[in-house]
C-alpha cells in the first residue's frame, strides 16, 4: 500500500461518510472502513476514514476505540490525523469530544489543536464561538431535546472546556475573515497563552478553506467534515496529491 497522507477517525458511520465525500470532492482517493481494519487495504489511496461507533458510548470506551484506530493509522504512515465529530458538537459534560481529543493529542505529542464543527453547507455555522443551526442558536434548536446528547449551551468554548482540563480559546470571525495568515497568527498567540484548543469561527466555505490552509502543519485537526474542505489542497501544494478521485466503503 502506498503511504497514506491523511488518517481520519470518525465517531459514527454517517459522519465518516460525509467526511469521505468531502475529501473525494477535494481530489483525495479515499477509503472508508467500518472499525479498525483487520487486513490489508487497496493500494493507491490518499486517505482512510475509520468510522467508529463512539459518539454515545462511555468516554473511556470512546478513548479506547479511538486510540486503537490511531495506532493503525500511524502504523500505516499517515502524515496528518483528523478527528471527526458531528457538526452539532454532540456531546455531554463528560465527553466524548474532549476526552478523545485529549487522548489523541497526548498520543501524538500535540499540545494544541483546532476544534471547528462548522458545516455551512448544512447550515451549521459558528460566530463568536456560538454554534448556530440555521438561524437559531444550537441551544434553541431541536438538539436541545436530544435523548442522548442534549445540547443546551451554544457556546462551544464553554462546552468544550467542561470536557477537558486544557484551556480553550477562540479565534473569532473578525480574524478568520482576514485569511489563513491571520488565523495562523492567532493560533500562535493562543499557544503562547497556554491554550490547548481553539474553537474557530466559520460562517461560509471560504472561512473553512482559510482554516484548512492555516492547519497545514498541524499533526492533529478536529472538527466536522466541513473543515476538511481545505486539507486536500495542502497536500497538493506540497506535491503529494494528484487529481484522481475515487472513494469506496469497505
Asked whether residue 67 is assigned to any structural domain, the reply reads yes
| DSSP letter, residue 137 | E
Q: What is the pLDDT of residues 54-87, one digit of tens each?
A: 999 999 999 999 999 999 999 999 999 999 999 9
Please tell me the predicted confidence (pLDDT) of residue 247: 45
Cα–Cα distance list, 131 to 86, 172, 205, 247 (Å): 12, 12, 15, 30
Contact 198, 222 (CB under 8 A): no
Distance of CA 32 to the CA centre of its chain: 16
Q: In what order do the strands lie in the sheet with 124-127?
A: 124-127, 130-133, 136-137
Contact 148, 158 (CB under 8 A): no
Asked whether residue 1 is assigned to any structural domain, the reply reads no
Asked whether residue 200 is assigned to any structural domain, the reply reads yes
- pLDDT, mean over the chain: 94
The ranges of the chain with pLDDT < 50 are 1, 244-250
Asked whether residue 20 is assigned to any structural domain, the reply reads yes
Asked whether residue 175 is assigned to any structural domain, the reply reads yes
- For residues 223 and 212, give the distance between their C-alpha atoms in angstroms, rounded to a whole number: 11
Contact 54, 65 (CB under 8 A): yes
| DSSP letter, residue 67 | H
Asked whether residue 50 is assigned to any structural domain, the reply reads yes
* Number of domains within the chain: 1
Please tell me the predicted confidence (pLDDT) of residue 47: 97
Instruction: Report the CATH number that the domain containing residue 151 is assigned in CATH.
Output: 3.40.50.10840
- For residues 53 and 66, give the distance between their C-alpha atoms in angstroms, rounded to a whole number: 10
Structural domain of residue 129, as residue ranges? 6-249
Whether pTM > 0.85 for this model: the answer is yes
Amino acid at each position: 500500500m502506498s503511504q497514506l497522507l491523511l488518517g481520519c477517525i470518525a465517531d459514527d458511520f454517517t459522519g465518516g461518510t460525509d467526511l469521505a465525500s468531502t475529501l473525494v470532492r477535494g481530489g483525495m482517493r479515499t477509503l472508508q472502513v467500518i472499525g479498525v481494519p483487520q487486513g490489508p487495504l487497496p493500494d493507491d489511496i490518499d486517505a482512510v476514514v475509520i468510522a467508529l461507533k463512539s459518539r454515545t458510548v462511555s468516554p473511556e470506551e470512546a478513548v479506547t476505540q479511538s486510540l486503537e484506530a490511531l495506532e493503525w493509522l500511524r502504523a500505516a504512515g499517515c502524515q496528518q490525523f483528523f478527528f471527526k465529530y458531528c457538526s452539532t458538537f454532540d456531546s455531554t459534560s463528560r465527553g466524548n469530544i474532549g476526552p478523545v481529543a485529549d487522548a489523541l493529542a497526548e498520543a501524538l505529542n500535540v499540545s494544541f489543536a483546532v476544534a471547528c464543527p462548522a458545516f455551512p453547507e448544512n447550515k451549521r455555522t459558528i460566530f463568536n464561538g456560538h454554534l448556530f443551526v440555521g438561524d437559531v442558536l444550537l441551544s434553541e434548536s431541536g438538539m436541545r431535546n436530544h435523548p442522548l446528547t442534549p445540547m443546551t449551551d451554544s457556546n462551544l468554548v464553554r462546552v468544550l472546556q467542561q470536557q477537558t482540563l486544557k484551556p480553550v480559546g477562540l479565534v473569532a470571525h473578525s480574524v478568520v475573515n482576514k485569511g489563513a495568515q491571520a488565523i495562523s497568527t492567532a493560533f500562535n498567540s493562543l499557544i503562547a497563552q497556554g491554550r490547548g484548543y481553539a474553537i474557530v469561527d466559520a460562517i461560509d466555505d471560504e472561512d473553512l478553506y482559510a482554516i484548512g490552509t492555516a492547519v497545514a502543519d498541524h499533526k492533529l485537526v478536529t472538527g466536522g467534515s466541513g473543515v476538511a474542505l481545505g486539507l486536500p489542497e495542502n497536500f497538493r501544494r506540497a506535491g503529494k496529491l494528484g487529481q484522481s478521485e475515487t472513494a469506496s466503503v469497505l
